[in-house]
Amino acid sequence: MWQIEKKIRQKGYAQIAGIDEAGRGPLAGPVVSAAVILPHDFSCPGITDSKRLSEKKRQLFFPIIMQQAVAVGVGICDHKEIDTANILVAALLSMNRAVVNLDITPDFLLVDGNFPISTDISQQTVIKGDTKSISIAAASIIAKVTRDRIMTTLHQTYPLYNFIRHKGYPTVFHIKALLEYGPCPVHRKTFKGVLHP
């Protein structure tokens, strides 16, 4: 998980930020990205792509990353921004915001996926980066846990949709709730299945 970072450090870059997002697929809520700069001696066995980890493991790793990271930045694009642009544009914008929100300016970015973000900082895209880069894996955990907490809070306001259970993803229960109640204010109106389940 350190191989990519080591190769980039050999080229002279010191502050390497891994970037990942959570929430491209849901029908409601924001897309959340995180940028994480880890220290050279960071060690936390078991960290990998957040989607491969149980919620319990993500909750366990979250404070470890937050406490030990050199810097952590979070960027959010809400449902309105997603509907105004599109989910890809919003996801990349949230990644950019995560970088801007870092306390330390990185000199290199490792971006999950195959789309670079708009920045002057040197960067490399990494397909399935959350399984190949420790920095991206850490960012995926921060982004996922942060987004889950937002959806848990939204559940208090819109309990009919049970966001606390499915976090806005198109589960059978969620589609059934949309059919019964229609979309709520935080649903993504441009997403297929929201206005016409």
How far, in Å, CA of 7 to CA of 195, rounded?
47
Mean pLDDT within 41-59? 83
Mean pLDDT within 1-16? 92
User: Does residue 35 lie in a domain region?
Assistant: yes
User: Does residue 183 lie in a domain region?
Assistant: no
Per-residue pLDDT of 158-179, as tens digits, reads 999 999 999 999 999 999 999 9
Mean pLDDT within 108-134? 95
Per-residue pLDDT of 148-157, as tens digits, reads 999 999 999 9
How far, in Å, CA of 102 to CA of 65, rounded?
14
- Give the model's pLDDT for residue 44: 78
Is the separation of the CB atoms in 28 and 184 below 8 Å? Answer: yes
Mean pLDDT within 177-189? 96
User: Does residue 108 lie in a domain region?
Assistant: yes
User: Does residue 31 lie in a domain region?
Assistant: yes
CATH code where residue 91 lies: 3.30.420.10
- Indicate the pLDDT class of residue 136, thresholds 50, 70 and 90: very high
Give 18's DSSP letter: E
* Interacting residues of 55 by C-beta distance below 8 A, sequence separation 6+: 148
- Give the model's pLDDT for residue 45: 80
Structural domains of the chain, count: 1
The whole domain housing 84 covers: 3-147
pLDDT over threshold 90, residue 193: no
User: Does residue 49 lie in a domain region?
Assistant: yes
- Give the model's pLDDT for residue 49: 66
- Give the model's pLDDT for residue 144: 97
User: Does residue 26 lie in a domain region?
Assistant: yes
Is the separation of the CB atoms in 117 and 92 below 8 Å? Answer: yes
Q: At what angle do helices 55-68 and 134-157 cross, to 10 degrees?
A: 120
- Give the model's pLDDT for residue 197: 63
User: Does residue 154 lie in a domain region?
Assistant: no
How far, in Å, CA of 137 to CA of 46, rounded?
10
